[in-house]
Amino acid sequence: MDTTQKGALKDNITKVAGKFASSRFVRAIMDAGYSVIPFTIIGAIFLILTVLPQAFPNPGFADFYADTLGRFSNLYQVVYNSTMGILAIIFSGTFTYSYTKIYATEEQLNLNPLNALWMFLMAFFINVPQMFWKNGSIQLEQSLKDANIVVGGYAVSAGGVARLASVGIFTGLVVGWITVQVYRFTVKHNWQIKMPESVPAGVSNSFSALIPGVCVAVVVFLMSLIFILLGTDLFKVLYIPFSFVSKITNTWWGFMIIVFLIHFLWWFGIHGATIINSFTTPILLANMADNVKGAHNFFAGDPMNAMVILGGSGATLGVSIWLATRARSTQLKEIGKLEIIPAIFNINEPLIFGLPIVYNVDLFVPFVFAPMASGLVAYLAISTNLVPKIIIQQPWPTPIGLGGLIATTSWKGAVAAVVCTLVSFVVWYPFIKRYDNALLKKEKDVTTETK
């Protein structure tokens, strides 16, 4: 492949990936992902208070806990259920709001994001009850079995209404997308009740949402009716493909593909995490919630920033420290000094665009394979129970060690993060050392020529 062909390939990949990353759907998904972080942290705080006896299995502490903090454990659980237990509503509701706002701004449509949110909630709750067709009519599921309590069609557990939690995220996204598209269609075709300008805005907005709301309700009603007549529902239909994808992400090779794609795209200057996370965020949240209930998923919460890519994409924390302290070329030494503080908080744009890593053939291999190496170490550590599973989503800028500690609620998570960082630097070292020597030689040659 000659230089022209390589350039064309780069341009095509950049164009396609860039277009996808900037799509309205992806941007709304990313907004939704950011929105759940504070709620998962709040839930995590009260979850920790609930599981303290398991974290410190000492008889003396257990007695102390039972007589003090343990007295409020049921209230801790209620607070947790009020965050993680309604994750589908928080995530999908934010997606719908943001998606509508993007359309309203970019297509200059009279769309009210708040109205879209309420329409989404209506449409979502139409799908929540479990129903079936029997004796010529629609019946609501009823079951009082310990493992399957369904009352009036609503499956319930100690965590509340089951389908409002992480299991409903995928359905919520589909319903949110349908809601926005139906709302957008009705507005573009002027299917609205327009009130005189003298009518207060609150009253006017309520009437302007009437026809779009009816259209959303009818579309979702007909869709639900069809599924019920077929003996299923939207939740069950979507569970099949998403559970399949979720299982793949939990395998070591599936996780390696994810890490590879993120960094392959980054090498072209495209924010790979933004693109890939638009697909994986719902899976990560669902798996994390399942881990709290007893599952053992590696791909949960935020394993990337907790253990795999400390220092930023490419797992460059060790590289940043080495550049600041050991680099001999002026260029790399100055970049290292600039980057070392941001690297502690997993920010490394100065490296990606300053070394540069983007389009730099000399650094492609370590940039892609160092995080794959650290990711494999993290996967093995958690899958073999050397390190506890992830049950909390820490903020992505959390420094090395602290992120692993929070995510796993164990010091072992902090140790694993340090080990992963060392492993990634081992991969980086020969490449960054050679690159430093090459730049040093160029700097010396330039100095010699100017004398």
Provide the pLDDT for residue 152: 86
**H helical segments located in 107-168:** 113-127
Provide the pLDDT for residue 197: 66
What would you measure as the largest C-alpha separation in the chain, in angstroms? 97
The answer to whether 259 and 372 are in contact (CB under 8 A) is yes
State yes or no: pLDDT of 58 exceeds 80: no
Which DSSP symbol is given to 304? Answer: I
Residue with tokens 């257990």: 62
Which amino acid is it at 346?
N
- CA 98, CA 92: separation in Å to the nearest integer? 10
Provide the pLDDT for residue 161: 84
Which DSSP symbol is given to 209? Answer: T
Mean pLDDT of 177-181: 96
- CA 217, CA 230: separation in Å to the nearest integer? 20
CA distances from 356 to 35, 268, 329, 336, 440 (A): 32, 11, 14, 12, 15
Quote the crossing angle between the two packed helices 234-249 and 252-267, to the nearest 10°: 80
Mean pLDDT of 268-274: 75
Tens digits of per-residue pLDDT, 316-357?
999 999 999 999 998 899 998 888 898 999 988 888 888 888
Provide the pLDDT for residue 196: 66
Mean pLDDT of 197-207: 63
3-class state of residue 114 by DSSP? helix
State yes or no: pLDDT of 372 exceeds 90: yes
Average pLDDT, the chain: 86
3-class state of residue 134 by DSSP? strand
CB atoms near residue 282 (< 10 Å): 27
State yes or no: pLDDT of 101 exceeds 90: yes
State in Å, rounded, how far the first CA of the chain is from the last one.
Answer: 41
Provide the pLDDT for residue 186: 93
3-class state of residue 161 by DSSP? strand
pLDDT band for position 2 (cuts 50, 70, 90): low
Provide the β-strand partners of residue 137.
134
pLDDT band for position 314 (cuts 50, 70, 90): very high
Which DSSP symbol is given to 398? Answer: P
Tens digits of per-residue pLDDT, 163-177?
888 778 889 999 999
CA 260 from chain center: how many Å?
A: 17
The answer to whether 371 and 259 are in contact (CB under 8 A) is yes
Mean pLDDT of 37-61: 79
Percentage of residues of the chain with pLDDT beyond 90: 43
CB atoms near residue 204 (< 10 Å): 16
- CA 130, CA 249: separation in Å to the nearest integer? 28
Tens digits of per-residue pLDDT, 391-429?
888 888 889 989 999 899 889 999 999 999 999 999 999
Provide the β-strand partners of residue 156.
149, 161
pLDDT band for position 119 (cuts 50, 70, 90): very high
Higher pLDDT, 194 or 391: 391
Provide the pLDDT for residue 351: 87
pLDDT band for position 148 (cuts 50, 70, 90): confident
State yes or no: pLDDT of 202 exceeds 70: no
Provide the pLDDT for residue 117: 95
